[in-house]
Structure 1
Amino acid sequence: MTVRGPRIHLAAELIAGGEVVLPEGPARHVARVLRLGTGAPLRLFDGNGNEACAVLVEAERKRVVARIESVTEGLGESPLAVHLGQAISKGDRMDYAIQKAVELGVAAITPLYTEHGDVRLKGDREAKKLAHWQAVAASACEQCGRATLPPVHPPMALADWLALRNEALRLVLHPGTPGALERQDTPASAALLIGPEGGLSAAEVANAQAASFDALTLGPRILRTETAPVVALALLQDRFGDF
């Protein structure tokens, strides 16, 4: 597929020859920020692995319509499906962790409530934060070229997340025995657990190890909670993925 025009996530079926109306956010970006007019090229992806070349056929302030010229299977997915369990952090740290995890090929993300974590979300606040995180993931996909949008699952307690894990390789970032990545086989899936700024409690680490998580050490320096997934995912992609 020829790389041209802005790349936009569109949660709709992409059919060659069909027309799609862009949602308010992307439409405003195309018409008011980029100031593109009729005939301008776009690249669309549906988040389910499909990508399309399209052209604007209507570009008004309140309505932007694109005609899909061709649809192809998207690229950019890693052979290693990593589910990231990320302790929720304050401010833009969580946004950074999600953005970089998507760029590094993560397959799914679950925000986690942990013992030392100082963020607790309830009701509408949790729903709004989840929608925000999903938008961060979509924006990262637009930038990095992925056509499959990894889900950001609703936040859950760490113990509940651990109980659901069945990935072939399970790792918890914690000082432990070196060699957690020195495997002879290549796993198809992995779970990666990242604790909060204050770290995981001894009980949480023990619970993770009881759920078949191996402790992974990333050197002698303590990494911030938003830096740790970047380093760990890069190592996983280099060892078992597509780096």
Structure 2
Amino acid sequence: MRIPRFYQAEIFAVGDTVALSEENFRHAVKVMRLNVDEPIIMFNGVAGEYTARIANVAKRNAEISIESYDDIDRESPLNITLVLALIKPDKMDFAIQKAVELGVNNIQPVITERSVVKLKAERMKKKIQHWQGIIIAACEQSGRTAIPTIQTVANVDDYLQQPTAATRITMLPTSHKSVADISPAQNMELLVGPEGGFTDAEEAMFVNQQIQIINFGPRILRAETAVIAGLTTLQHLHGDV
């Protein structure tokens, strides 16, 4: 049986007895029905992971005993930022989840001309928190020990004006370049558009910004499919897939 993993932003040391966070207590004890002496794995996003056991369970809290540390590293040598246009909420959640499972390091949501989702300041703050929860859950499930960052939503024009040493890539069916034409790099940014695609003006901006435009075949991909296809290909060519 697979040992459940939990993220907790806390410094652990072998031999310590640590209280589970309220959220981890609810998930481990109330949802998964874990009890005293059952094993779990803890990680804090700094490095490695810790084997622990549930030491005691009370009505509203539980404590764990940290037994050992494993300096394991499941992170890709390729540093990838996913620049993802805002898409419908369920599709956005799915794309972020799969991006984390595929090893993305940073996620930058952007607003494009055809973005159908508009977020006001207060709702945007809640969305960032929601996406952060998806990222943590995906790390727990996939065995990652580092937590990818999620940035504040930006306008795509403003974002692309920022200087970067990363190789920037986007996918358009009209391009004559293939993924084989991408030069190896340690830092890459994958730009994925909204449901309606990029406008002609945005595509012209990509050319002016010297973004590498590649062709992933003659078929038009949904945004969430493009995320999976693009990240998998980059990890296969330059990462650890």
TM-score (structure 1 length as normaliser): 0.93
What is the rounded CA distance, in whole Å, between the counterparts of 1:152 and 1:49 in structure 2?
A: 19
For residue 57 of structure 1, report the CA deviation from its aligned partner.
1.1
CA 1:14/1:210 → structure 2, altered by over 3 Å: closer, same or farther?
farther
What is the rounded CA distance, in whole Å, between the counterparts of 2:18 and 2:171 in structure 1?
A: 44
Correspondent of 1:153 among 151, 158, 168? 151
Query: Which 5+ residue runs of structure 1 have no aligned equivalent?
Result: none
For residue 180 of structure 1, report the CA deviation from its aligned partner.
4.5
Query: Is residue 2:87 matched to residue 1:89?
Result: yes
Q: Which residue of 1 aligns with 2:126?
A: 128
For residue 165 of structure 1, report the CA deviation from its aligned partner.
4.7
Letter in 1 for 2:144: R
What is the rounded CA distance, in whole Å, between the counterparts of 2:210 and 2:68 in structure 1?
A: 45
What is the rounded CA distance, in whole Å, between the counterparts of 1:199 and 1:118 in structure 2?
A: 11
Query: Which 5+ residue runs of structure 2 have no aligned equivalent?
Result: none
Query: Is residue 2:234 matched to residue 1:236?
Result: yes
Q: Which residue of 1 aligns with 2:178?
A: 179
SS of equivalent residue, structure 2 residue 100:
helix
Letter in 2 for 1:84: L
What is the rounded CA distance, in whole Å, between the counterparts of 1:113 and 1:242 in structure 2?
A: 30
Contact kept, 8 Å, 2:19 with 2:61, in 1: the verdict is yes
Letter in 2 for 1:225: A
For residue 71 of structure 1, report the CA deviation from its aligned partner.
2.1
SS of equivalent residue, structure 2 residue 41:
strand
Letter in 2 for 1:177: H
* Superposed structure 1 runs of 4+ greater than 3 Å apart: none
Q: Which residue of 1 aligns with 2:108?
A: 110
TM-score (structure 2 length as normaliser): 0.94
Moved more, 233-242 or 158-167: 158-167
What is the rounded CA distance, in whole Å, between the counterparts of 1:190 and 1:150 in structure 2?
A: 15
Q: Which residue of 1 aligns with 2:65?
A: 67
CA 1:50/1:160 → structure 2, altered by over 3 Å: closer, same or farther?
farther
What is the rounded CA distance, in whole Å, between the counterparts of 2:163 and 2:130 in structure 1?
A: 25
Aligned length: 240
Moved more, 84-93 or 206-215: 206-215
Contact kept, 8 Å, 2:178 with 2:216, in 1: the verdict is no
Alignment of 1:216-231 (within 5 A): 216-231=214-229
What whole-Å deviation, never above 9, does each CA across 1:38-78 have from its counterpart, x for those lacking one?
11111011122331111111222310111211223232111
Coordinate RMSD, CA, aligned = 1.6
Contact kept, 8 Å, 1:28 with 1:61, in 2: the verdict is no
What is the rounded CA distance, in whole Å, between the counterparts of 1:14 and 1:206 in structure 2?
A: 50
